Chains A and B, each alone.
Chain A
């Protein structure tokens, strides 16, 4: 294809970001329209790519960036079955967040144009991460996502926003530096063979496949640490609840919806693709971290009093499911781990929208202070119930297809290894997930209407909020009824990946 559509996916939001940035003064209020327009165009482009899955290979672009005798870095983009879902999710969520926040108070009052600048800048970084096919570009984009998120938390966040923002920044930055060491190690190791430090995915992967297990395991550990913090996996997770509690609603949606997936995306894209021996070396560690995350996150949810914090911990639990699927290193496991990433992106977006709304509309997110909201705000209650049900894995909605097959893949793995009792942890987590969601729902939506807070100003969902959430709900139901719509992208990719892993 001659048309540089992938570059446009990065360029369009970038232009939008610059435009909203300069829209100071009296034009601040109209920044949201600009942002909506640019994110809509990006979404259309992403959809165009999605529906032309046959010509993925002809879409890839590569421009020389830094080229000397010793170093070769290129600005190269490509999409495949793994990345296109994430690209679509990013474009969709950014657009919906713009729509959703159109009337949000915290954004309206304080420099609204910067909020949209940050959103679009984040989109640039996320698109870059998901489409990069050069380690250097990948790393640069990885860092690009970090900065707008930092400012989003520290400018538009809650009362402890500075603490949370710094914590988020330092945590993920340290992790990405470790990751950078891993990338350099791979680059220089590859240079020993090829003579040039070439950071493109393909050339490094080719060399890495021939490298001995010890080196692969070492580099895998470095990279894995970087990605696991981002996912986040227990015990590197504590930045997430704080960041979520303090972040504005739109920020939380993007943070949980697509930024966490950068971690799991990186594990699959880099760790598995380039370092198959390392993956098999650390397989049990991956599985252990995944299992611990699932159960630990689920238990932590039960004890939370802040609705948003609870949902944040549930993200940890569900991303643990992704980790578990990856850890199986099997076709089914990885395919549905990717599907779970996608499913969790959709569901968690609704979850954070709902929880954010609780804070704005009712005035508090403390579960013990709430009660009986279903009578007062029926539409809100319906959305909350839908999101909770989707998240606890109700069959027929998308969340179930992230859970059931992943656990099945895990079952096959443990049967092969005679460790059947490990299945108990998965079953326990399913039980706990239902428990904390239903308990939270019982205390917030049902029972007598709360008298502990003033509900007289609480009003139901606004039109823009409704639109954003309704779109997501429809998608959750659609992909739940017809998972093949997403699986058709993932399966060809995992087939290829399994061939690589089969080299072991």
Chain B
């Protein structure tokens, strides 16, 4: 049996990688992918704790969370595509995109 801590470490590594990407990358698509990474880190934790406590709710929440993430990515990508169509860029620091703020 794989020790419980391994799951937590894996999740922590994934989360930190994701966080690092969100904070440093300026490409919006990569940022979006990094957010997915962080979400999945949380999902792993869910499953791990669920199995550890023999509570099926953990898995239930993961299913929920994955579906929400899918929706979020769909919306995010849609926004990005539109932004790209209008401004021809997906760079977050690009003046073309920041001018969309109000």
- The answer to A–B direct touch (Cβ < 8 A) is no
Residues of A at the B interface (CB closer than 8 Å) are none
